Structures are given as structure tokens and as C-alpha cells.
């Protein structure tokens, strides 16, 4: 995995702080005064970093796993200074109170603070070496509201240099996205569920008039889902009539190539999709989002290619909501579906 190292904008941050100090702004709130060591990302917001974590039933994925950052000083010192940082996860409680969030503290065994002491060489603005936090097991960090690490300045070798009182924390915040849709799936095995007793709704509601054409078992008919004005949460909902355990969905597209000279073979096919399930049609549980693959040029009614939306782990539900905000022709939905199958 990648690591993120925060060094690039250190000098710019120092310059901004020094200029601000002479501008007589509010020193107590957000400026450093005198000689002090401090923590910053170098970019706004200066005290925090956010990582996106994809949590699936099979594994956990994040673009980064290593966080490295220097400790900085407002004015260079005449001798080397050693500074230590500690993990003070009680600081997450304070962060939550201030920001109205609900990040949980990281679980034991999910991380290592590999290096917590650095040296700022005489005449320099930041340590040449870096504090190093490693997240070793994202699967232990599955809180719905995410997790937060609070890193705090704890000690300094030169007692004539202060630890900043207002830039003494740096927060690493992990935001979890729970995903039960397999974006790599190209096929799905199972039987198509019979549609007897099903009912459908759509947003916008005028799209409900022809939705049955996507469930009539006739490849020569099609459901055209579209709208011309702004619609909040474009979707359609299937009420299966009873609770079923399903593996996913198979979509037979309508093989219409023409779209004002588009270079995309079948621009009316589904693109971005979100899926939620519910037992009552009111309270929904997200199963994630994915991009449905574009159809290849060789696909046709004679050589059909089925679009697949597959769950990592089958779900049991009565109601299914599919968000369909766009298709391959551009930003707004103009989607043609010949047949939409629920796979058991």
C-alpha cells in the first residue's frame, strides 16, 4: 500500500503563521507566537487528514496504510531539538465534541506507532526525519462512523522552546464505506427469480408507467428511464412481495448504438449504480455502489453480453432500491433496459 508523507507545504505554513503574527490577528485561536514546535498538514484543514476505507465482507481496502509527517518549528533554533509525539486517543473525544462527529478510537492491534521521536536540526524549520504511524489491520476498524487517531506533541529536549498550545494535535481520520457489491464480477450463477406478485415504484414517478417492460421476459421491449430536470435521488424500487435471498442482478441492455455520433457502443446502458435493501420499504441498508462495465463493441442482440451487479455475500430482503444517477451517454440518466433479472 501507499504511504502519505506531509512535507511539501511546511515552509508556506510557517510563512503564513509569521505574517499573521505581525498582522495582530487572534493569537490565542489560530496563530503561533514566539518560538514553538507544532504539527500541521501544511494544507487546510491544518490539523487533520482523512482516508477513505472500503470495507467488504471479504477484506478491507485503503489507498494508504502508512502516515509520515515531520514536526515543525516557527523559527530555526541554534542547536538540535528532539521532539516526541504520543498517541492520545482521548483527543478524539474532544474532536468529536467540537466537530459534531462520532469517530471511535482505534482498536488494539490495528496500528503501530513505529517512530514517535524526531530531531529538528539547528537552523532548519522542520525535522529531517518523520513521525511514522502504520495502520496494520483495517479489518479491525469497521465502526459505522469511522475511526480517529489523535497524535499529540508530548515532549521536547529544549525547554526554552514551547510545545504549541493550539497546533499540538494532528488527527488521522478513517471514513468507512461499506461495500457488498463486487466491481470485478463478470458473471453471476443462479436462477432468475419469477416476477409474479412483484410491484415497482420509481423516482421520478412518471417513469413507473413503462417499468413493467423491464420485467416482462420480452427482449424486444424496453424500459426507457430518463428525465430532463433536476431530480433528487433518481431510483427505482422493486417490492418482491416476500423475502428472498438473492445473489445479485443481471441486466439485458437494449442494443441501440445510435446516440448523436457517440464513440461509446451502447451509451444508453447503466453506468453508476447504488443498491440498498429493506425489510419494510422504509428503512434502508446500503450495499454499496459500483460502476457497471460499458458494453463491448461486439455485443449485440445476436451476441448478447449481460451486465452483472453481484453481491459479495448474498442478501435476504423484500425491497430493493437501485439508484441510477447516470449512464454511459453523459451526466443525466437516459437508460434503456430490455430485461432486469433478480438472481437467486
Domain membership of residue 183 (yes or no) is no
Same-domain check for residues 67 and 23: yes
**242 and 169 belong to one structural domain:** no
The answer to whether position 188 is within a domain reads: no
Q: Report the CATH number at residue 246.
A: 2.60.120.260
Question: What pLDDT score was predicted for residue 2?
Answer: 57
Whether 189 is covered by a domain: the verdict is no
Q: Hey, which bits of the chain come out as E strands?
A: 2-5, 36-38, 48-55, 60-62, 64-69, 72-73, 81-87, 111-115, 117-120, 131-135, 147-156, 162-163, 169-178, 199-203, 223-226, 235-253, 272-278, 285-291, 307-323, 334-343
What is the number of structural domains in the chain?
Answer: 2
Q: Specify whether 105 is located in the same domain as 40.
A: yes
Q: Specify the pLDDT at position 325.
A: 82
This prediction's pTM? 0.74
Rg (CA), the chain: 27
- Looking at the structure, tell me whether residues 104 and 228 fall in a common domain: no
Q: What is the number of other CB atoms lying within 10 angstroms of the CB of residue 168?
A: 20
Together in a domain, 222 and 331: yes
Would you tell me how many other CB atoms lie within 10 Å of the CB of residue 23?
8
Residue 187 lies in a domain: no
The confidence score (pLDDT) of residue 193 equals 97
Residue 148 sits in the same domain as residue 88: yes
- In a domain? residue 190: no
Q: Does 36 lie in the same domain as 114?
A: yes
Q: Give, for all 344 residues of the chain, the pLDDT tens digit.
A: 455 565 544 433 333 333 222 222 333 333 445 799 999 998 877 899 999 999 999 999 999 999 999 999 999 999 999 999 999 989 999 999 999 999 999 999 999 999 999 999 999 999 999 999 999 999 999 999 999 999 999 999 999 999 999 999 999 999 999 999 999 999 999 999 999 999 999 998 888 989 999 999 998 888 988 876 677 888 999 999 999 999 999 999 887 655 555 666 677 788 899 999 999 999 999 999 999 988 887 887 788 889 999 999 999 999 999 998 887 776 666 788 999 999 99
Before 223, cis peptide (omega within 30)? no
pLDDT reported for residue 14: 34
**Domain assignment of residue 112, given as a range:** 2-178
Residues 74 and 214 in one domain: no
Same domain, 273 and 136: no
Amino acid at each position: 500500500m501507499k504511504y502519505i508523507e506531509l512535507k511539501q507545504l511546511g515552509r508556506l505554513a510557517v510563512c503564513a503563521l509569521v505574517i499573521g503574527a505581525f498582522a495582530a490577528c487572534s493569537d490565542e485561536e489560530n496563530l503561533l507566537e514566539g518560538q514553538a514546535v507544532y504539527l500541521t498538514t501544511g494544507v487546510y484543514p491544518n490539523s487533520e487528514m482523512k482516508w477513505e476505507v472500503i470495507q467488504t465482507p471479504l477484506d478491507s481496502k485503503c489507498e494508504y496504510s502508512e502516515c509520515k509527517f515531520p514536526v515543525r518549528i516557527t523559527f530555526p533554533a541554534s542547536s538540535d531539538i528532539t521532539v516526541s509525539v504520543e498517541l492520545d486517543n482521548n483527543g478524539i473525544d474532544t474532536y468529536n465534541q467540537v466537530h459534531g462527529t462520532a469517530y471511535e478510537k482505534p482498536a488494539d492491534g490495528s496500528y503501530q506507532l513505529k517512530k514517535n521521536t524526531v530531531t529538528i536540526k539547528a537552523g532548519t524549520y522542520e525535522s529531517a526525519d518523520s513521525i511514522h504511524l502504520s495502520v496494520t489491520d483495517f479489518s479491525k476498524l469497521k465502526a459505522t462512523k469511522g475511526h480517529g487517531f489523535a497524535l499529540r506533541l508530548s515532549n521536547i529536549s529544549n525547554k526554552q522552546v514551547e510545545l504549541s498550545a493550539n497546533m499540538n494535535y494532528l488527527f488521522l481520520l478513517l471514513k468507512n464505506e461499506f461495500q457488498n457489491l463486487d466491481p470485478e464480477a463478470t458473471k453471476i450463477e443462479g436462477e432468475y427469480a419469477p416476477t409474479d406478485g412483484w410491484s415497482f415504484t420509481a423516482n421520478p414517478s412518471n417513469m413507473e408507467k413503462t417499468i413493467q417492460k423491464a420485467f416482462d421476459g420480452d427482449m424486444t421491449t424496453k424500459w426507457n428511464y430518463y428525465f430532463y430536470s433536476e431530480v433528487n435521488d433518481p431510483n427505482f424500487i422493486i417490492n418482491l412481495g416476500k423475502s428472498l435471498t438473492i445473489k445479485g442482478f443481471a441486466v439485458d441492455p437494449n442494443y441501440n448504438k445510435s446516440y448523436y455520433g457517440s464513440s461509446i457502443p451502447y451509451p444508453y446502458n447503466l453506468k453508476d449504480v447504488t443498491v440498498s435493501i429493506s425489510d419494510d420499504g422504509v428503512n434502508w441498508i446500503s450495499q454499496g455502489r459500483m460502476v457497471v462495465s460499458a458494453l463491448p463493441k461486439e455485443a449485440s442482440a445476436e451476441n448478447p453480453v449481460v451486465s452483472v451487479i453481484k453481491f459479495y455475500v448474498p442478501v435476504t430482503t423484500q425491497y430493493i432500491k437501485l439508484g441510477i444517477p447516470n449512464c454511459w451517454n453523459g451526466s443525466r440518466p437516459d437508460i434503456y433496459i430490455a430485461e432486469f433479472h433478480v438472481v437467486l
